[in-house]
Amino acid sequence: MMNPLPCMFFHRQEGWSWQKGTEPAPDDLLQSVAINVSQPVALMTWLETNDAAVISDLTVFVDATDYAPSPQRWCLLFDKLQREATKIQDLSVYWDAELTCYRVGLGKSIVFVRGLAQLKVERSLEIGGQYAMHWPRYLEEKMGLKPVNKDIFPGSPWVGILRKYQRGTESRNPRFNTEDGIWDVPRRMHSTNPFFLLLS
């Protein structure tokens, strides 16, 4: 029986933890690792002293909390991974959103998805959660992999939830647009924008 791939969680602003049962022995040389990240700054810090080429499996959880990282923070990570993480086999991305709490997350952020599309992935691309209408086609064009959403199938309640989220995103196309509009990211991320200050 094969040992599970070592898996690291980066879900705090600082530090990381091993998934239980996957931590390697202290003397083992880390040759391949799965990364699960919702805090890009924490992973960036780890990469200052570790080789990004050991990442073979990457899971990105895009949080919708009030203190979630901005698209720009994610793009700093994506830019580094695009240059240094040369052995990513599988990528999974989940865009969280809490529509009942008016937390839209980054599923409509053009800046985020354009940064994400820079990543080099060899084998599979899985997407989930709430994202804009053109994201799957754009990611397929840029990454050469067809995104699979395992929650979308005939009769799934997620079909209606996703369609509701995608209303109004028909004109948001990352091939032609390069910047986020004022309603495409959580409002707190526009707190320095004079137009936002007039609206708040």
Q: What pLDDT band is residue 100 in, cutting at 50, 70 and 90?
A: low
β-partners of residue 10 are: 37
How much of the chain, in percent, has pLDDT values that exceed 70? 86
Q: What pLDDT band is residue 1 in, cutting at 50, 70 and 90?
A: very low
Residue 149 DSSP SS3: coil
* Domain locations along the chain: 7-199
List C-alpha distances in Å: 172 to 41, 116, 199: 27, 16, 22
List C-alpha distances in Å: 91 to 111, 123, 180: 18, 8, 24
pLDDT tens track for 103-142? 778 999 999 999 999 999 999 999 999 999 999 999 999 9
Provide mean pLDDT across the span 179-186: 78
User: What's the alpha-carbon Rg for the chain, to the nearest Å?
Assistant: 17
CA 27/CA 30 separation, integer angstroms? 9
β-partners of residue 60 are: 37, 93
pLDDT tens track for 8-65? 999 999 999 999 888 876 656 678 999 999 999 999 999 999 999 999 999 999 998 8
How much of the chain, in percent, has pLDDT values that exceed 90? 67
> So what's the pLDDT on residue 198?
35
Q: In terms of pLDDT, which residue wins out, 89 or 169?
A: 89
Contact 124, 90 (CB under 8 A): yes
Render the burial of 156-192: b for 16+ CB within 10 Å, e for the rest. eeeeebbeebbeebeebebeeeeebeeebbbeebbee
Contact 10, 39 (CB under 8 A): yes
Contact 69, 100 (CB under 8 A): no
CA 165/CA 87 separation, integer angstroms? 33
CA 39/CA 9 separation, integer angstroms? 9
